[in-house]
Amino acid sequence: MAIEGADLVKAAAFLGAGISMGLGAIGPGVGEGMVAAKACEAIGRNPKEAGLLTRTMLVGQAVSESTGIYSLVIALLLLFVV
């Protein structure tokens, strides 16, 4: 079975998109979980500041999620643009 060049490029782009988003999701997932665990600990220690701690947690998670969003952007670029 002969495989054409364009077909191979497309296949590589698909594989790249899958691996980019898949592996890119591991880091933010674990990192945001750590943030949430520490936020729970902080609220357990000092429940009065729950509102402030929730906001801090969300901002921290939003920042650590940005690498996941970069992966998403790269995956979508590989799928639709390349």
Partner 1 sequence: MEELGKIHQLIIPLGGHAITLNLEVILMTWIVIGFLCLFGRLTTRRRHIFPRSFQIAGELFVSVFYKLTGDALGEEHVEKYGPLICALFMFLMLSNWLGILPHLEEPTKDLNTPFALGLMGFVIAHWAGIRSKGFKAYAKEYFQPMFFMMPLNLIGELAKVVSISFRLFGNIMGGSIIILVVSHLTYSVLLPPLLNAFFGLFVGTIQAFVFTMLTVVYISVQVQ
Partner 2 sequence: MDMNILTAMKIAAFAGGGFAMGMGAIGAAIGEGYTAARANLAVSRNPKISGDIFKNMLVGQAVAESASIFALVIAILLLFLEMPSGGYIQAASLLGAGLCMGLGALGSGIGSGFPAAETCMGIARQPMVSARLTTNMLIGSAVCQTPAILSMVVSLLLLFMQFENIPFQPGWGAVIGAGLSTGLAAIGSGYGGGLAAGASCEGVARNPNTAGNVTTTMLVGQAVAQTASIFGLLVSFILIFKSFPETRALSPAIALLSAGLCMGFGGIGPGIGNGQAAQGAVRWVARNVHHATDLMRIMLVGQAVSQSTAIYAMVVSLVLIFVV
The reply to whether 52 sits near partner 2 by the rule CB under 8 A is no
Partner from partner 2, partner 1, none binding residue 70, C-beta < 5-8 Å depending on class:
partner 1
Q: List binders of partner 2 among 14-43 (CB under 8 A).
A: 14-15, 17-19, 21-41, 43
Sorted by sequence, the CB contacts under 8 Å of residue 15 that are 6+ apart come out as: none
AA letter at 13: A
d(CA 1, CA 56): 57
> For residue 59, what are the CA distances in angstroms to 18, 35, 37, 73?
28, 10, 15, 21
d(CA 80, CA 14): 10
What is the binding site for partner 1 (CB under 8 A)? 50-51, 54-55, 58, 62, 65-66, 69-70, 72-73
What is the binding site for partner 2 (CB under 8 A)? 1, 3-4, 7-8, 10-12, 14-15, 17-19, 21-41, 43-45, 47, 50, 53-54, 57-58, 61-62, 65, 68-69, 71-72, 75-76, 79
